[in-house]
C-alpha cells in the first residue's frame, strides 16, 4: 500500500498512464522531490485539472501555497483576467513561490498572502468559484466557516490529504500524537458529508481528496 490509501500497483499504473507536465511545472516537481516539498500528487493534479475544466472557475482561493506549484497549475484553467489568492506562512516557500510566479508571468493573476492563514483568511473579500484547502489539516473546519460565505453558489470546495495516510479510517494506523488531527479530520468529513448546503464526495486518490459543491447560500 502507498501511504495506506491505495495499492502500489494502482498508483504505479496511474503514474505511468496519466500525462506528465513540462516546462516550469516539471522543474518545480523535480525541485519539490529533491527538497521534500509536499506538492499535490500526480493523480490528484490530473483529477483537479479535469474538475477545473468542468467548473470553469474565474477565481480560486487556496490554503497552502508552498512553492506555488498547484497555484501555477490552476492558473492554466482560468481566463486571462482570472484571479487566484493563495496563503503561505513559510518565508522560504513564499519567496520561491514569488519567483516561480514571476518566471511564469502570472503576477497579475496569482496573489500570495504571506503569514498565518488563521488571521489572513479573515481579510479576504470578494467571491470565489473554488476553494482549495491544502494547509494545516486541523484547521479545515475553521477555514470552511470563514470562507463558505465567499464561495459562489455552484462553487466547489476541494480538500487535500483528507484521509491522511489512511489514519482517518483506521485507528491502528494512528499514533497518539496525531490524535487531534485525525479527530478534527473525521469531524470535518462528517460535517461536509451531511451539510444541507453541500453535495460531497470523498475520493481515495493521493492522500484522499474531498469535493463539495455549494448548493445554496
Ligand atoms: C501541502 S503544502 C501545499 C502544497 C501546494 N498546495 C501544492 O500542491 O503545490 C502545505 C503548505 O501549507 C502551509 N501552511 C500550513 N499551515 C499554514 C498556515 N496556518 N498558514 C499559512 N500556510 C500554512 C505550509 O507551510 C505548506 O507550505
Mean pLDDT in residue range 148-165: 97
75-79, 130-134, 169-173, 211-215, range with the lowest pLDDT: 169-173
Strand 128-133 with 151-160, pairing: parallel
Q: For the chain, give every domain's residue range.
A: 8-214
Beta carbon of 210 within 6 Å of any ligand 1 atom:
no
Strand 209-214 with 198-203, pairing: antiparallel
Mean pLDDT in residue range 157-186: 92
Q: Give CA–CA dist 183/188, Å, rounded.
A: 9
Which of 41, 94, 106, 135 has most ligand 1 atoms within 8 Å of CB, for mutation? 135
Q: Give CA–CA dist 189/210, Å, rounded.
A: 8
pLDDT for residue 20 is more than 70: yes
CATH number assigned to the domain covering 8-214: 3.40.50.150
Beta carbon of 117 within 6 Å of any ligand 1 atom:
yes
Question: Which set of grid coordinates corresponds to residue 133?
Answer: 484547502
Helix (H, G, I), strand (E, B) or coil at 8: helix
Q: 27-85 pLDDT, tens per residue?
A: 999 999 999 999 999 999 999 999 999 999 999 999 999 999 999 999 999 999 999 99
Nearest to 71 by CA among 58, 80, 81, 62: 62
Please measure the distance between the N-terminal and C-terminal CA atoms of the chain and give it in whole angstroms: 40
Mean pLDDT in residue range 127-132: 98
Q: Which atom of ligand 1 is nearest to the CA of 73?
A: 9
What integer best gives the mean pLDDT of the chain?
96
β-bridge partners, 131: 61, 157
Nearest to 178 by CA among 168, 169, 188: 168
Rounded to the nearest angstrom, the distance between the alpha carbon of 182 and the centre of ligand 1 is 18
Give the count of beta carbons closer than 10 Å to the beta carbon of residue 157.
25
Beta carbon of 48 within 6 Å of any ligand 1 atom:
no
Rounded to the nearest angstrom, the distance between the alpha carbon of 53 and the centre of ligand 1 is 24
Rounded to the nearest angstrom, the distance between the alpha carbon of 112 and the centre of ligand 1 is 12
Q: What is the pTM of this model?
A: 0.97
Amino acid at each position: 500500500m502507498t501511504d495506506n490509501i491505495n495499492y502500489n500497483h494502482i498508483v504505479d499504473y496511474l503514474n505511468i498512464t496519466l500525462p506528465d507536465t513540462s516546462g516550469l511545472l516539471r522543474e518545480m516537481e523535480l525541485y519539490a522531490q529533491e527538497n521534500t516539498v509536499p506538492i499535490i500528487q500526480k493523480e490528484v493534479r490530473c483529477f483537479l485539472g479535469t474538475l477545473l475544466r468542468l467548473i470553469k472557475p474565474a477565481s480560486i482561493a487556496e490554503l497552502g501555497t508552498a512553492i506555488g506549484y498547484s497555484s501555477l497549475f490552476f492558473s492554466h484553467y482560468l481566463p486571462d483576467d482570472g484571479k487566484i489568492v493563495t496563503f503561505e506562512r513559510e518565508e522560504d516557500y513564499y519567496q520561491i513561490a514569488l519567483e516561480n510566479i514571476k518566471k511564469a508571468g502570472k503576477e497579475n493573476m496569482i496573489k500570495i498572502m504571506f503569514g498565518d492563514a488563521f488571521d489572513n483568511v479573515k481579510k479576504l473579500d470578494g467571491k470565489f468559484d473554488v476553494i482549495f484547502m491544502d494547509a494545516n489539516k486541523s484547521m479545515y473546519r475553521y477555514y470552511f466557516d470563514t470562507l463558505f460565505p465567499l464561495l459562489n453558489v455552484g462553487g466547489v470546495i476541494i480538500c487535500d490529504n483528507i484521509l491522511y495516510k489512511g489514519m482517518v479510517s483506521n485507528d491502528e494506523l494512528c499514533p497518539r500524537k496525531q490524535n487531534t488531527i485525525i479527530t478534527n479530520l473525521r469531524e470535518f468529513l462528517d460535517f461536509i458529508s451531511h451539510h444541507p448546503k453541500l453535495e460531497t464526495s470523498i475520493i481515495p486518490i493521493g492522500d484522499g481528496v474531498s469535493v463539495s459543491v455549494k448548493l445554496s447560500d
